[in-house]
Chains A and B, each alone.
Chain A
Amino acid sequence: MGKKGLVMSKPDLNKPDLARRRFLLGVGAATAATGAATASAAWGGNTMSDAFADFFQQHYQRMTEDEIRLTLERIERKAKRRYDADINCKNTPPQEGVVFGYALNISKCRGYRDCVHACVTENNLGEDTQYIRVLEMPEGSLDLNHADHYYDSKDLPHAGHYYLPMQCMHCDNPPCVKACPVEATWTEPDGIVVVDYDWCIGCRYCMTACPYQARHFNWGSPRLSADKINTDTHYLGNRPRPRGVVEKCHFCVQRTRENRQPACQEACPTGARIFGNLLDPDSEIRYVLENKAVFRLKEELGTEPKFWYFRDA
């Protein structure tokens, strides 16, 4: 098991410098490669060194490149053990001069929820977690208390209603980040609010702080089936999550940092979703922000969401 994980290719992080730091993680991985076969049974399929390295794993922002590489390999080994899936866990860094933002055309959305399903598949979400919630709103109201969260998917759109998809707004002033007692969640340079699933202690104060119900907790171990797992994963994104930690929409960091669109945007059949770089004056999202009457949900709370809504005139 251990050997298989170690030989996996890791193109974006090839800087073998093992001699420099052979701290906990270095020692852990070396033992894992040799002792996996004998030690695996006693730790529920986990090797003792992997369990040890898991326990002492540092905060993402504090790890050296070597430590990150060994951690990614361990994550891949874990996915193999738990789900029998050969995942590739990346650590693609943010691009210079990029801050992501989203705009959603309410007049085009018809409530099909294709974005919800695409997100579930892309991001290896467990059975009871959805990052996107489409609200069915009565025409003429923007009071979320009048929304229907569980409307019927047949015969859409329903007369007299419009649809309001919601997900993490990636606030520029995120109350969830302030709330976290251990700095397990933060804003990346490209504007994505991320969670270090291996640092979160599961206190759920961020869920209390979020005004958009955008954060989700792994109450039990997330259940995934091996054949459905998306093997293209990112440490801060869609890698399989452990139990007892908070997760959320991460603007498909595994795709968007490689110049691809997020899964929800690609899946939308009506073209209601516009995602792009807010710092690029020629981007489509900049055109929308400059030429449409856009608004943001709960703007009065001062969280500065990077998620806008607009209607065609």
Chain B
Amino acid sequence: MMDLYYLVRDGISQMLHGSLNYIIWVVLLLLLILNGGWFYYQQLSEGLVVTNMTNQVSWGFYIANFTFLVGVAAAAVMLVIPAYVFRRNDIKDVVLMGDSMAIAAVIMAILFVVVDLGRPDRFWHMIPGLGRFNFPESLLAWDVIVLNGYLLLNMGISFYIIYCHYRGCQPQLKRYFPFVILAIFWAISIHTVTAFLFSANSGRPYWHNALLAPRFIASAFCSGPALMLLGLQIIRSVSNYPISRMVIKHLAIVMTISLQITLFFTAAELFTDFYNEGEHAASARYLFLGLNGHTALTPWIWTALVMLVIATLIGMIHPLRRNRTLLNIAAVLTIIGIWIEKGMGFIIPGFIPSPIGEIYEYTPNMTEIMVSLGIWSLGLLVFTLLAKVAIPIECGTLRKPGVEVSDPICNLKNTPTKEGTSP
């Protein structure tokens, strides 16, 4: 138990101390969280009437962000699978960063659902036993289970590894390997369940589509690796954590292949919608071309498509992908492109036109944007703090009192690889 106390003490000490840039970054995030909290407080006291959502478009920006973030969380498997199943040691070195991102993403996803609730004070109605939990009927009940389960799995595995390293011993793979395998299947399930949440609605033809879950998974494997790639590039520039170029290369290739699949899926849907266009295609027409003069979403989706095509091209053309700056640009374009495609480009048109033919347009207002920014900042803060503690422990420079600090592997920064070019 003393060891746990030391870990908490040293961990908090790590979080509170850092370079000037670190302090500025954390304070900035805290300010954005406070700002979001203020707008959420107003939403709590006035009701969701302060948002732009309506009876026609009854889910908006919050659920759009939720959907995107569940995908990001699921994409952690793109590090976990090669690290544990294919025994890639270079990837295993950074797998904790992937887990930390998954933890931050799930926390954000859950918060986006909480801020969307009309009565968060009745949260206990969902607790099985105490409340009434409509399982297995309601897909939302499934989502509650898979998201919380995924959070626990990731926290458990990461904590076990960190705690072992902190005490100066090696984690026993055979002890946690079953949980790793479970987490891999669980990761696919969180995004599948989230897709089913939408495709279950037979009254909304835009979502009622068997391609939805595969599409969700494919686009998650674009945006997740892209975010991880950027995160690792940043960690590599602000710390001496050894991140192999092969890891960056791996993420870039996963991102590119997933982008190709995503674009193919999009094309398949467009063909089915428009070759023999009927009532079921009304939302797609509204999104891509505008309906009866209503075109609020058209610029969003075309921006997203152009971004995704550019990112795919950068990823496909080897010399471009090997250029570090261009690769980072491709990652940014992918993140924004998928965020639009899955958010404003997917959630909102499901409500337009409404099931009884009403066209009521929607754009998020200041409250929704500020609350969302606050949640994003909180997620980034969670990731920052987790990484701040995990990096020195993984590097071997932070150990419990009495354990000798082992060879600091992190001093050998960026050992050159066979390829020789900088990613």
Chain A interface (Cβ within 8 Å of chain B)?
A: 55, 59, 62, 129, 133, 135, 143-147, 149, 166, 175, 178-184, 199-205, 207-213, 215-221, 242-246, 298, 301-302
Contact = CB atoms under 8 A, between A and B. Distances in A.
B144 A181 contact: yes
Given A181-B140, A213-B55, A59 B132 contact: yes
Contacts of A59: 125, 131-132
A243 B120 CA distance: 12
B125 to A, nearest CB: 4
A204 B59 contact: yes
Contact of B119 (A220, A245, A298): A245
- Interface secondary structure of B, over-half rule: loop
A221 B202 contact: no
15 contacts: A145-B282, A149-B356, A149-B358, A178-B138, A179-B138, A182-B125, A201-B123, A202-B118, A204-B118, A205-B140, A205-B197, A211-B202, A212-B356, A213-B56, A217-B55
B49 interface: yes
**B51, B58, B116, B353, most chain A CB atoms within 10 A:** B58
B354 interface: yes
B337 to A, nearest CB: 25
A166 B356 contact: yes
Contacts of B358: 147, 149, 213
Contact of A244 (B47, B113, B353): B47
B46 interface: yes
B122 A199 contact: yes
Contacts of B388: none
A213 B356 contact: yes
A144 B358 CA distance: 8
B357 interface: yes
B138 A207 contact: no
A210 B59 CA distance: 13
A180 B200 CA distance: 13
Nearest to B137: A178
A220 B55 contact: no
Contact of B125 (A175, A201, A204, A221): A201
State which size class the interface on B falls in: 35 or more
Contacts of B138: 178-181, 205
A200 B203 CA distance: 22
Given A182-B132, A208-B204, A217-B58, A201 B118 contact: yes
Contacts of A179: 138-140, 200
B117 interface: yes
A180 B131 CA distance: 13
B126 interface: yes
**A55, A149, A166, A205, most chain B CB atoms within 10 A:** A205
A207 B58 contact: yes
A143 B279 CA distance: 8
Leading 4 A-B pairs by shortest Cβ distance: A202-B118, A211-B203, A244-B118, A220-B49
Given A183-B134, A202-B119, A218 B357 contact: no
Contact of B355 (A211, A244, A302): A211
A220 B134 contact: no
A165 B169 CA distance: 72
B48 to A, nearest CB: 5
B58 A208 contact: yes
B280 to A, nearest CB: 11
Given A203-B116, A219-B49, A143 B139 contact: no
Nearest to B292: A145
B133 A182 contact: yes
Interface in B112-150: 113, 116-123, 125-126, 131-134, 137-141, 144
B42 interface: no
A256 B121 CA distance: 33
B117 A203 contact: yes
Contacts of A135: 356-357
Given A202-B119, A219-B53, A244-B118, A181 B59 contact: no
Interface in B284-337: none
A246 B46 CA distance: 16
B5 to A, nearest CB: 36
A268 B116 CA distance: 38
A205 to B, nearest CB: 5
A218 B47 contact: yes
A175 B55 CA distance: 17
Given A143-B357, A207-B55, A219-B47, A202 B201 contact: no
A244 B119 contact: yes
A181 B118 contact: no
